Amino acid sequence: SSAGGAHCFPDLRVGVFKEIVPLGIDPKIVSYKETGIHLSPQEFHREVEQYLSQASQGQNNTILLDCRNFYESKIGRFQGCLAPDIRKFSYFPSYVDENLELFKDKRVLMYCTGGIRCERGSAYLRSKAVCKEVYQLKGGIHKYLEEFPDGFYRGKLFVFDDRYAICSNEDIISACRYCGIMWDQYELCSSQHCRQLVLTCPSCRNKGLTACCPVCQEKELNVTTRASGQALKEECECTRIRPRVPIEPVLQRTLDAGK
C-alpha cells in the first residue's frame, strides 16, 4: 500500500485474463512456478552493494537487470543497472532472445515495480538455460524503497495510475525533452493520435512544447478536430526511430547509469 487517495484510482474494473502481465508467452509453456530465486529487500540490497563493488573493480559476472519499460527506468532506476530500451513488457522475450550471449554464465539480479513482471520475466530467462543464476527482488522496487528509501535506487518510481510517479529521495536523473534541464514529471503527449508520455518542463510547456516529438507537435497543430469515437492510429517519430528490440554490447558494460 502507499499514499495516494481515491482521486488517483478513479475506476474499478474486474477482469479475467490469461496473463496477469502481457508477456505474450503462454503460461503453460513458461510457468510462474519456474521463477528466479526471490530475494527480500535486505538480501537484494546486499547483492546490489556487492555487485557495485565488484563492478568498480572491473568484475562483471553479475547483471543487474531492470525488466520495466524504458519510460519507467528513465526517471528512476538502480545504480549500475542494465535498463533495456524496450517500450512494452511483451518485447522482453525478444530482448532476451536477441541478447542471449550477454546473459551467458551470468548471475542476474532482476527487478520491476512490484515484483509481478519478474514472475514472468525471470521464468522466461531461466527457460533459456544460459544464466548461472537468476534472482528477483520480492515485492519489487516498491517494497525495497519502504526498507531503503536512500538506498541504491535513485529517482522516482513510475506507477500506472494518475500519480505517474512516487518518490523516496530528491534525486532527478532525467531531463526535459526540449531544453535539457533536469525534470522527471511526465505528461501525456498533447497530440491526440499519440499515447506516449513526455518529459517537458513548465517553461517549455508554456511555450507550447507539449508533444513527445516534432512529428506529434506538428500533427497537434494541424489536426484540431476529430470525428467522435474515431480510432486514432498511434504513430510518431519516437516509435519509428527506436529499435523495437535493442542489441546490447556484450564485452563493454560500464557503470554510467550508476554514476
Instruction: Tell me the C-alpha distance between 185 and 133, whole Å.
Output: 36
Tell me how far CA of residue 206 lies from CA of 45, 184, 200, 234, 236, in angstroms: 41, 17, 10, 25, 22
Q: In percent, how much of the chain has pLDDT > 70?
A: 88
The pLDDT value given to residue 119: 93
- pLDDT by residue (tens digit) across 197-235? 999 999 999 999 999 888 887 777 665 445 444 555 556
- pLDDT by residue (tens digit) across 68-85? 999 999 999 999 999 999
**In the chain, what are the domains?**
19-166 (3.40.250.10), 175-223+231-241 (no CATH)
The pLDDT value given to residue 107: 96
pTM confidence score: 0.85
Q: Per mean pLDDT, which of 40-54, 164-178, 185-199 is the most reliable? A: 40-54
Q: Which of 8, 67, 81, 112 is catalytic?
A: 112
Whether 179 sits among the annotated catalytic residues: the reply is no
**Range name among 85-89, 118-122, 150-154, 246-250 with the lowest pLDDT average:** 246-250
- pLDDT by residue (tens digit) across 111-136? 999 999 999 999 999 999 999 999 99
Instruction: Tell me the C-alpha distance between 44 and 59, whole Å.
Output: 19
